[in-house]
Structure 1
Amino acid sequence: MKIAGFQMQSTVGEVEANLAKIDAAAAKAATQGVRLLIAPELALTGYGAGALFPALASPADGPQTEQLSQIARRHGLTLVAGFAEKDGETVYNSAFLTDGKGQTATYRKSHLYGPYERQWFRPETPSSILATIDGIRLGMLICYDVEFPENVRRLAQAGAELVVVPTALPSGWSGAFIAEHMIRVRAFENQVFVAYINHCGADDRFAYAGLSRIAAPDGRLLAEAPAESEALIVAEIDLGAFQTSRSENTYLADLR
């Protein structure tokens, strides 16, 4: 199965403009045979929306997710994108999955990073949200979640073969280390694929690292994006190609 990550520069507060960008990326991905497209954390609102989040937040079955489903249906692929989810008076930092044909899933970020996120969102209890796309079992995390090894391990133990991670990784030395090293280790230590898809550029509050990555179970990078610019990165997810790695690195079976 071909998957793609859309490293994008969201426009803060402009949901329709960001949806249009994702629509264009989905159209391009579909011409390359992509079956799953991943957009960044809070892609629909922009990560730096701050005080706009309460007004921009949408229910998991609201108009924003319906537009994502329409994009997925129009281009014949599954889509994962970050959005601000409103549930009553509570706002979550969430990711929405839709195949455009009725299969949907919503994941809420469990580990909020810093006072900025804690001001605007409520953390969810860690959970294993799974979906099956073209026979591949997929699990979801968001940004800081992946930096806790327990979260990826939980998904792997639940049967995930691919972990998708919409993110808003800031620029700087620690961001570069996470993208260039940690993501590959998470894939290797759990023998799963990891797709880590970031913003690029900057808004009024944050500058983003770019450096989106898709890593394989043997720790190799299958696709990578530059630091500075928007990019559509594509990789083939072939479970059979990594049987040797899984037979030699039996961490899940040997865990005590």
Structure 2
Amino acid sequence: MRPIGIAGLQLQLGKGDNSDRIVAEVAAVKARLPWVDMVVLGELCLFGASTANAQPLPGEAEAKMCEAARAAGVWLVPGSLFEADGGRVYNTAPVIDPTGQVVARYRKIYPFLPYEQGVAPGSEFVVFDVPGVGRFGMSICYDMWFPETTRTLVWMGAEVIIHPGMTNTIDREAELAIARASAVTNQVFFVDINTAGSLGVGLSGVFGPGGEVIHQAGAGHEVIAVELDLDQVTRVRERGWHGLGQPLKSLRDNPIEFPPYREGFAASPTFSELGPLQKPGSERPTAPGVRTIKTQA
């Protein structure tokens, strides 16, 4: 067995500095559940969604999270925060080990454009190893809408995808479908932790390598503590879920070269005709046959 205890903290948070609350919650979950090895929080939970709170990394807030991880003796992914670097702002998730050391920083590759304005995309995929357990991949919110991101992490060896999100819109049900599909098509654990309160609608989920729902959270405060055995990933990839599909082997063994990746998406007339990436406006077209009649008082 290769077990790991993961606690997703779906916290009801507001705008502003939430770092003290997060430190307290990390300490509380470890005190209550000593078997927890890793704690994961939602996207932008430290300061909310304003780029005005961007700061350099390493920085004061990250240092506070490092101390929280060290004090609790856990791996900590404290959601993400806006990182200021060289005149650009990135949406960045630190990965902190139980000694309080930052072992990786992942910059969100797909900012939620056209709404997440002023945020630059990252360019590097990030995986990290938990000794004696296995390899984990990092993804943030809108990244999962692009299946290539999860597939790349799995190609790099990830057996668990850690996915902080901050969704406060009505498409959360669609995201849950994507998270579950990402798990089964990549035969991977998918840990999808959303924010709650004024920052998000909650509804976090943990999904297994067969697409099974390990836990589906509600909308409020919730500690999602689960024990995952990464040997299950090995077995499902070897034999298929319930002895059925083995998609990673089929993907590896089929020599097909996918045209979009060979020729580029811009080569497609369908993609070229999509128009600019911008916020939709209010459209009130005039119905056919309707005339405007001016009258004189």
Show the counterpart of 2:14: 11
Aligned to 2:47: 45
Report the secondary structure of 2:148's partner residue.
Answer: helix
Match of 2:55 in 1: 58
**Alignment RMSD:** 1.6
Q: How does 1:121-140 map to 2 (within 5 A)?
A: 121-125=119-123, 127-134=124-131, 135-140=133-138
Structure 2's unaligned 5+ residue stretches are 255-297
Which deviates the most, 150-159 or 215-224? 215-224
Match of 1:24 in 2: 24
Determine which of 84, 87, 103 is the counterpart of 1:86: 84
CA distance in 2, matches of 1:2, 1:120: 36
Read off the aligned partner of 1:124 and give its amino acid letter.
Answer: G
Letter in 2 for 1:85: E
Alpha-carbon distance between aligned partners in 2 of 1:243 and 1:122, rounded to the nearest angstrom: 36
Question: Secondary structure of the equivalent of 1:151?
Answer: helix
Residue 178 of structure 2 corresponds to residue 182 of structure 1: yes
| From 187, 192, 198, the counterpart of 1:202 | 198
Letter of the 1:9 partner, please give it. Q
Q: Which amino acid aligns with 1:186?
A: S
List aligned pairs for 1:141-180, cutoff 5 A: 141-172=139-170, 174-179=171-176
Please list every run of at least 4 consecutive aligned residues from structure 1 whose deviation after the TM superposition is greater than 6 angstroms: none
Equivalent of 1:215 in 207, 216, 222? 207
**TM-score, scaled to structure 1:** 0.88
1:95-110 paired onto structure 2 within 5 Å: 95-101=93-99, 102-110=101-109
The 2-side partners of 1:222 and 1:165 are apart by: 15
Q: Give 3-state SS (helix, strand or coil) of 1:115's partner.
A: coil
Q: In 1, Cα distance between the equivalents of 2:114 and 2:83?
A: 19
Q: Equivalent pairs: percent with the same residue?
A: 33
Deviation of 1:24 after TM superposition, in Å, equals 2.1
Q: Alignment partner of 1:153: what SS?
A: helix
TM-score by length of 2: 0.76
For residues 226 and 112 of structure 1, the distance between their equivalents in structure 2, rounded to whole angstroms, comes to 26
* Structure with bigger gyration radius: 2
- Check whether the contact 1:97–1:104 (CA below 8 A) recurs between aligned residues: yes
The C-alpha deviation readout for 1:57-111, integer Å capped at 9, x for no partner, is 1222111111111000000001112111111221101111101423421101111
Deviates more, 1:68-77 or 1:92-101: 92-101
Q: Which residue is equivalent to 1:69?
A: 66
Aligned length: 239
Q: Whose helix fraction is larger, Structure 1's or Structure 2's?
A: 1
Gaps in structure 1 of 5+ consecutive residues: none
- Shift of the alpha carbon at 1:130? 1.1
Aligned residue for 1:240? 231
